[in-house]
């Protein structure tokens, strides 16, 4: 089903790029008109907001009751790559995009490149809210440009190590704090009849989080030109490391988000998972038989004593270029993503982990979690969230990049290729895709 | 004697194998829909245990204020409405092309036939832009109106009308003073009934399964057909695993109207296809 979703996404995007080419010059006029003003509208305003957060209506209702003059109509549908991003692009073209949209960090650059977003940098309320957000999340929405903001950070996916406390203790394996120790533990786990983890065969997103931790810079933009470096030293280090584990058959490799994957964890075949904060829920519902036996530790480090975490996922609330009420839209987006009442509800209803500094101390994120033996696991993630490197940027064609890299990864885990080769190929294809879409790229 | 019977047994065997082949996934879906909390990997995949279909159905019907029932109703609305009206339009068009001689008849027919070759998926985006222009995108009509079109139905209608409605009969009706419209509805529709059922069934299946058009047209969840609704749940299974159970039960429930339509109309379909080919 994931594959199908991806092929649909590609199909949608390819039809899109055809129409994008024929768009003509009317875009420039809209740019200058939209960017400058962030003045409040006079009179009552109705905003539309498209997202795929389950039960978002309950959160928006709270806002609507308190703000009779700024009513928000919410629409939900499939997730971004499942069709909603393609719809956003179509709607931008047709002029009926919603005021606000849910966009993941890795998709934000593609909307920026297509000039679909309102720059909220000139909104005072937005600029003054910057200090509320964890630094790296702000970089994800400003792309490091001072005075420019293309969305309000919503949630984050700081990564940590989920591990089977009971099995590690029973087999006298110390909990790894470095990747070296992790590889040593992998051999011991194999000897005890398990796999240290499952290296999901087509999940490039997890790998991106691991590379992010190691200091990779896959994409860069100097103001005009993009650079693509998916095979920089940091990425190669991570790829070689996992290639080693795959070659020694120390990891299993079932596809992610499938019943097989659940089963690998439920049957205690896989013992750890280096994953994002939202992964806590994935294990709990996928592997109910292992309840109470898990614990969470910080991500293993590349050098002992370091404190660096990766990030996997996370999204923003963006205001589209076509919105006539950017001030009110920004106001709502800020409330949605910084107010305690909204963050509490988003966490309760949809398991979102806030991108704000204060968000980490929501009461719900301080409690012990039964599935993890009562450990207050979110403390680990709160710390990890402050340790994510701020200078990682996504590229403007991630759907294609992910698809190409995933294809290569699938071959790598089955022994027909290597991870480095997959990344080299994805790099070349990304550069040619950028060129084919007339996005300036420096080789 | 045994040698003569062998082919019959062989045919039965092949059919039995295929029946099993087609029914196993359905059976799996039924068993999986009954599993508690969507624990698909728990227990045997093909033997029901801890059977909780009732509870799962209740969850499904109550999730998000019963949005699933709304989707089912939408699907039935889009499908039955578009299939009925579309069948009538296609039947009339095919009948006219078969029974009236006028300039450009073959040209029109060939253009319609060309329409069969254009995949509906390719038309979804241009349709979206057109409907956006007239501010009908994201409405019931944006899915309903394009679903009325059925070029293959026109083709079937023409072939069938040519074969089953004798010109002499129409001639007789005219002499008796019946107008063309009245003749069509009282006489020709009856003669063409099997063709209508066939067109209706094809159309029903096509609209029910149509996915790309609603995906692109609709943003309002309350207008979704059940296919799109289940798909949108399924895209969130990664981060909201509790939805997996709902997707499974929902997929199972969404099959029911299709099964009903087939079982109640299949004998017409059979005779329709057969009759058309002999004449």
Domain ranges of chain B: 66-278
Distance from CA of A327 to the nearest CA of B (A): 23
Predicted confidence at residue A200, as pLDDT, reads 84
Predicted confidence at residue B252, as pLDDT, reads 93
Q: Residue B148: pLDDT above 70?
A: yes
Predicted confidence at residue B271, as pLDDT, reads 58
Distance from CA of B221 to the nearest CA of A (A): 6
CA neighbor of A149 nearest in space, from A120, A111, A178:
A120
Q: Tokens representing B217?
A: 């047209």
Question: Chain B residue with minimal CA distance to A93?
Answer: B129
Contact A82 B231 (CB under 8 A): yes
Predicted confidence at residue A23, as pLDDT, reads 39
Question: Chain B residue with minimal CA distance to A6?
Answer: B235
Average pLDDT over residues B79-99: 94
Q: Which residues of B touch A281 (CB under 8 A)?
A: 239-241
Mutate one of A8, A23, A53, A77 to test the B interface: name it (highest B CB count within 10 A).
A77
Q: Is residue A374 part of a domain?
A: no
Distance from CA of B113 to the nearest CA of A (A): 24
Per-residue pLDDT of chain A (443 residues; tens, 9 = 90+): 444 445 555 545 444 444 444 333 333 333 333 444 788 998 899 999 999 998 899 999 999 999 999 999 999 999 998 899 999 999 999 999 999 999 999 999 999 999 999 999 989 999 999 999 999 999 999 988 888 999 999 999 999 999 999 999 999 999 999 999 999 999 999 999 999 999 988 889 999 999 999 999 999 988 889 999 999 999 999 999 999 999 999 999 998 888 888 889 999 999 999 999 999 988 988 888 999 999 999 999 999 999 999 999 999 999 999 999 999 999 999 999 999 999 999 999 888 999 999 998 999 999 999 999 999 999 999 999 999 999 999 999 998 999 999 999 999 988 899 999 999 999 999 999 999 999 999 87
Strands of the A226-228 sheet, one edge to the other: A219-221, A226-228, A441-442
A23 touches chain B (CB under 8 A): no
CATH number for A111: 3.40.190.10
Please give the tally of structural domains in chain A.
2
Q: Are residues A168 and A98 in the same domain?
A: no
A339 touches chain B (CB under 8 A): no
The CATH H-level superfamily of B66-278 is MetI-like (1.10.3720.10)
Q: Is residue A20 part of a domain?
A: no
Q: Is residue A434 part of a domain?
A: yes
Q: Which of B40, B135, B219 sits opposite A50 (nearest CB)?
A: B219
Q: Which residues of B touch A266 (CB under 8 A)?
A: 41-42
Distance CA A255, CA A249 (A): 16
Q: Are residues A238 and A344 in the same domain?
A: no
Number of A:B CB contacts under 8 A?
A: 101
CA angle A127, A131, A132 (to 5 degrees): 105
Distance CA A406, CA A202 (A): 5
Residue A418: φ, ψ to 5°:
-125, 160
Q: Are residues A126 and A264 in the same domain?
A: no
Contacts with B, A 90-109, CB within 8 Å: 90-91, 93-96, 98
Predicted confidence at residue B41, as pLDDT, reads 63
Q: Which of A79, A93, A259 sits opposite B235 (nearest CB)?
A: A79
A258 touches chain B (CB under 8 A): no
Predicted confidence at residue A257, as pLDDT, reads 82
Question: Chain A residue with minimal CA distance to B219?
Answer: A75
Q: Are residues A140 and A89 in the same domain?
A: yes
A24 touches chain B (CB under 8 A): no
Contact A83 B128 (CB under 8 A): no
Helix, strand or coil, per DSSP, at residue A323: coil
Q: In which domain, by residue range, is A239 found?
A: 157-308+393-442
A373 touches chain B (CB under 8 A): no
A377 touches chain B (CB under 8 A): no
Q: Are residues A257 and A269 in the same domain?
A: yes
Tens digits of residue pLDDT in B235-271: 888 777 778 888 999 999 998 888 888 888 777 765 5
Helix, strand or coil, per DSSP, at residue A336: helix
B12, containing H or E segment: helix B2-34
Q: Which residues contact B5 (CB under 8 A, 6 or more apart)?
A: none
Question: CB burial class (10 A; 0-12, 13-18, 19+) of residue A28?
Answer: exposed
A201, containing H or E segment: none
Q: Is residue A369 part of a domain?
A: no
Question: Chain A residue with minimal CA distance to B64?
Answer: A55
Q: Which residues contact B186 (CB under 8 A, 6 or more apart)?
A: B178
Q: Which residues of A touch B218 (CB under 8 A)?
A: 77
Q: Are residues A181 and A134 in the same domain?
A: no
Q: Are residues A105 and A217 in the same domain?
A: no
A27 touches chain B (CB under 8 A): no
Contact A98 B138 (CB under 8 A): no
Residue A93: φ, ψ to 5°:
-65, -40
Q: Are residues A168 and A195 in the same domain?
A: yes
Contact A278 B37 (CB under 8 A): no
Q: Which residues of A touch B222 (CB under 8 A)?
A: none
**SS3 of chain A: helix, strand, coil, percent, to 5:** 50, 15, 35
Question: Chain B residue with minimal CA distance to A157?
Answer: B239
Q: Which of B42, B232, B241 sits opposite A78 (nearest CB)?
A: B232
Distance from CA of B242 to the nearest CA of A (A): 7
Q: Which residues of B touch A288 (CB under 8 A)?
A: 37, 39
Predicted confidence at residue A54, as pLDDT, reads 86
- The per-residue pLDDT of chain B, averaged, comes to 87
Q: Which of A83, A98, A288 sits opposite B39 (nearest CB)?
A: A288
Contact A288 B37 (CB under 8 A): yes
Q: Are residues A112 and A75 in the same domain?
A: yes
Other beta carbons less than 10 A from residue B262's beta carbon: 13
Other beta carbons less than 10 A from residue A305's beta carbon: 7
When computed from its CA atoms, the radius of gyration of chain B, rounded to whole angstroms, is: 23
A351 touches chain B (CB under 8 A): yes
B132, containing H or E segment: helix B120-133
Q: Is residue A24 part of a domain?
A: no
Residues of chain B contacting A, Cβ within 8 Å: 37-42, 64, 121-122, 125, 128-129, 132-133, 135, 137-138, 215-216, 218-221, 224, 228, 231-232, 234-243
Distance CA A342, CA A67 (A): 14
Question: Chain A residue with minimal CA distance to B230?
Answer: A78
Predicted confidence at residue A224, as pLDDT, reads 86
Contact B220 A11 (CB under 8 A): no
């Amino acid at each position: 089903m994931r594959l199908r979703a991806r092929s649909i996404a590609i199909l949608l995007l390819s039809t899109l790029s055809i129409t994008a080419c024929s768009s003509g010059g009317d875009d420039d006029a809209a740019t200058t008109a939209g960017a400058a003003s962030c003045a409040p509208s006079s009179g009552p305003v109705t905003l539309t907001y498209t997202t795929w957060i389950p039960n978002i209506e309950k959160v928006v209702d709270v806002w609507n009751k308190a703000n009779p003059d700024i009513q928000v109509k919410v629409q939900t549908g499939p997730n971004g790559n499942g069709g909603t991003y393609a719809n956003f692009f179509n709607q931008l073209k047709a002029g009926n995009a919603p005021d606000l949209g849910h966009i993941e960090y890795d998709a934000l650059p593609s909307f920026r490149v297509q000039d679909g977003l309102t720059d909220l940098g000139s909104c005072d309320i937005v600029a003054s809210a910057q200090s509320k957000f964890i630094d790296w999340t702000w970089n994800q929405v400003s792309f490091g440009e001072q005075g420019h903001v293309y969305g309000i950070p919503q949630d984050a996916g700081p990564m940590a190590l989920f591990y089977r406390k009971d099995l590690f203790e029973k087999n006298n394996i110390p909990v790894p704090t470095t990747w070296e120790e992790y590889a040593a533990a992998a051999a011991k786990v194999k000897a005890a009849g398990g796999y240290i983890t499952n290296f999901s065969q087509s999940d490039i997103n997890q790998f991106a989080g691991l590379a992010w931790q190691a200091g990779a810079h896959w994409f860069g933009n100097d103001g005009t030109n993009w650079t693509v470096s998916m095979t920089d030293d940091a990425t190669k280090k991570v790829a070689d490391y996992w290639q080693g584990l795959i070659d020694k058959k120390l990891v299993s490799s079932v596809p992610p988000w499938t019943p097989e994957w659940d089963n690998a964890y439920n049957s205690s075949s896989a013992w750890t998972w280096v994953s994002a904060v939202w992964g806590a829920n994935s294990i709990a519902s996928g592997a109910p038989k292992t309840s109470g036996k898990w614990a969470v530790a910080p991500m293993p480090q590349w050098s002992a004593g370091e404190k660096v975490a990766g990030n996997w996922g996370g999204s923003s609330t963006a205001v589209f270029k076509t919105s006539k009420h950017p001030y009110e839209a920004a106001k709502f987006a800020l409330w949605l993503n910084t107010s305690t009442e909204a963050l509490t509800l988003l966490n309760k209803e949809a398991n979102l982990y806030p991108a704000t500094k204060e968000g980490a101390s929501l009461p719900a994120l301080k409690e012990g979690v039964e599935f993890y033996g009562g450990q207050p696991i979110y403390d680990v993630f709160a710390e990890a969230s402050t340790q994510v490197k701020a200078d990682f940027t996504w590229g403007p064609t991630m759907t294609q990049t992910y698809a190409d890299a995933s294809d290569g990864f699938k071959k790598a885990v089955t022994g027909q290729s290597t991870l480095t080769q997959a990344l080299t190929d994805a790099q070349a294809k990304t550069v040619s895709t950028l060129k084919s879409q007339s996005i300036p790229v420096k080789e | 004697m045994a040698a003569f019977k062998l082919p019959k047994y062989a045919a039965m065997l092949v059919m039995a194998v295929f029946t099993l082949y087609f029914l196993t996934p359905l059976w799996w879906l039924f068993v999986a829909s009954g599993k508690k909390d969507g624990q698909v990997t728990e227990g045997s995949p093909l033997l029901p245990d801890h059977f909780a279909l009732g509870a799962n159905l209740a969850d499904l019907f109550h999730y998000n204020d019963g949005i699933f029932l709304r989707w089912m109703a939408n699907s039935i609305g889009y499908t039955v409405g578009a299939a009925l009206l579309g069948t009538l339009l296609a039947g009339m068009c095919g009948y006219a092309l078969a029974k009236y001689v006028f300039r450009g008849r073959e040209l029109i027919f060939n253009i319609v036939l060309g329409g069969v070759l254009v995949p509906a998926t390719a038309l979804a985006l241009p349709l979206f832009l057109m409907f956006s222009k007239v501010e009908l995108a994201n409405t019931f009509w944006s899915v309903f109106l394009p679903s009325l079109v059925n070029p293959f139905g026109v083709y079937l209608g023409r072939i069938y009308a040519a074969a089953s409605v004798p010109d002499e009969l129409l001639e007789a009706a005219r002499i008796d003073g019946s107008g063309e419209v009245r003749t069509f509805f009282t006489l020709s529709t009856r003669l063409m009934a099997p063709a209508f059922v066939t067109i209706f069934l094809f159309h029903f299946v096509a609209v029910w399964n149509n996915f790309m058009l609603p995906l692109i047209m609709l943003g309002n969840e309350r207008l979704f057909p059940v296919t799109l609704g289940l798909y949108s749940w399924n895209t969130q299974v990664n981060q909201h695993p509790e939805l997996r159970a709902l997707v499974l039960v929902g997929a199972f429930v969404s099959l029911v109207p299709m099964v009903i339509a087939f079982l109640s109309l299949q004998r017409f379909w059979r005779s329709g296809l057969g009759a058309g080919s002999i004449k």
